[in-house]
Amino acid sequence: MSDENLSFAVTVARNEGQWLVRSFNDDFSDIHTSINAVRSLRSAEAAFALLCVEDDYFVVVRPVPGGVRMVVSDATYAVEDDFAADFLELRDIDVPDIDPDDLEDAEAYGDGDFDIFADLGLSEDQLGFIIDNEEDWPSDMLLRIAGDLGFGDELEEIIAEITA
């Protein structure tokens, strides 16, 4: 799909079997913006946020009782990007020990809770396969996740609105 600077933040909630997908303002400077956006949904069923940061990487945020689950598509961005680093730190995951000068050659890898959607039918292995596909942009990966979970059309509409 991509436009090198494509950024978007959406909340996703499932209520009575229907997906509700809404964009929200997030400047990607404070991880609590997305966490609070999801918590404010007060959904009895699944609720999470999908954050695409300049189509460089994505983060999925899913508050749960007693904490926050998350997955980041490329943990190497945490070396120079405070937003990505804050998510890793939230889950007590070490920021990769990579010299910033060597980032260009570093191999991208996802980190976090790969089973974040297991209860919705998207297994840890399936999510890992999506994230490991080096040919897809992060926005494409999120569209694939959304399609697998059943709200791909809704996410595609929001992205179209953002990029119009």
Distance CA(90)–CA(12), nearest Å, equals: 21
pLDDT attached to residue 77: 95
Q: Is residue 3 part of a domain?
A: no
Rg of the Cα trace of the chain?
Answer: 15
Query: pLDDT tens-digit profile of 18-59?
Result: 999 999 999 999 999 999 999 999 888 999 999 999 999 999
Question: Could you give the percent of the chain with pLDDT greater than 90?
Answer: 78
Indicate if the pLDDT at residue 12 is higher than 90.
Answer: yes
Q: Is residue 12 part of a domain?
A: yes
**Structural domain span for residue 127:** 8-163
Mean pLDDT of 156-164: 90
Q: Is residue 39 part of a domain?
A: yes
Q: Is residue 31 part of a domain?
A: yes
Q: Is residue 1 part of a domain?
A: no
Mean pLDDT of 98-114: 87
pTM equals 0.93
Mean pLDDT of the chain: 92
Under a CB-based contact definition with an 8 Å cutoff, are residues 80 and 100 in contact?
A: yes
Question: Could you give the percent of the chain with pLDDT greater than 70?
Answer: 98
pLDDT attached to residue 17: 84
> How many domains are there within the chain?
1
Show the tokens assigned to 15: 């209520």
Show the tokens assigned to 130: 């999506």
Nearby residues of 22 by Cβ (< 8 Å), 6 or more positions away: 10, 11, 158
Indicate if the pLDDT at residue 1 is higher than 90.
Answer: no
Distance CA(99)–CA(76), nearest Å, equals: 10
pLDDT attached to residue 111: 96
The band of 133, judged by pLDDT with boundaries at 50, 70 and 90, is very high
